[in-house]
Amino acid sequence: MTATDPALTALAQGWCALSLLHSRIEAHIEKALQARHDLSVREYSLLDVLSRQHSGPGGHLQMRQVAEAVLLSQSATTRLVTRLEDRGLLTRYLCDTDRRGIYTDVTDAGQALLAEARPTNDTALREALDAAAENPELAPLVRTVEELRTPARPA
């Protein structure tokens, strides 16, 4: 394959379109969350992931798992947790069975902020997808994203 190979060029164009769609969506959601709730997209994502934990076996995520879920490095996730903990939105505690393990829970204030921010996030996502669907290069990706959210029907 050469740099001018049509297959490589098409692949690169597809990747650029996907990257553009992601950037536009994230920027639109970021602007809405910051303006209405003083939350970044990453902060919202972290609160959302942590709010889905449960008390049963395997219900609490280790920091490594949280980092994977919010697509950040462990050090960036730790800094993010610290910022939200300083705001009273999260709390950390040691694991009962492994004193090296640290878990994080969303506080009542964090749950309340998340509940307020969720409609903003959802509306901003819909707006960003609708705007992107107007772009012929992004429209196929938008359709794919919309199909992903629809549960598969049994055959």
Strands 90-94 and 102-106: antiparallel
153 located within any domain: no
Name the pLDDT band for 114 (thresholds 50, 70, 90).
Answer: very high
Is residue 17 assigned to a domain? yes
| Contact yes or no for 70/42 (Cβ under 8 A) | yes
For residue 58, the model assigns a pLDDT of: 67
Rg (CA), the chain: 19
| Confidence at residue 48, expressed as pLDDT on a 0 to 100 scale | 96
Alpha-carbon span 8 to 85, nearest angstrom: 45
The reply to whether 155 falls in a domain is no
**CATH number where 51 lies:** 1.10.10.10
Does residue 104 lie in a domain region? Answer: yes
Note whether residue 2 is domain-resident: no
Strand partners, 105: 91
Residue 38, exposed/middle/buried by CB under 10 A (0-12, 13-18, 19+)?
exposed
- Assign residue 94 a region (left: φ > 0; alpha: ψ between -120 and 50; beta: otherwise): beta
User: What is the 8-class DSSP label of residue 52?
Assistant: T
Domain membership of residue 108 (yes or no) is yes
pLDDT band at 10 (very low <50, low <70, confident <90, very high): confident
Q: pLDDT by residue (tens digit) across 50-82? A: 999 877 666 788 888 899 999 999 999 999 999
Average pLDDT over every residue of 117-121: 98
In this structure, how many other beta carbons lie within 10 angstroms of the beta carbon of residue 16?
11
Domain, as residue range, for 115:
7-148
State the pLDDT at residue 153.
Answer: 56
Whole-model pTM? 0.84
Q: Number of structural domains, the chain?
A: 1
Q: Is residue 1 part of a domain?
A: no
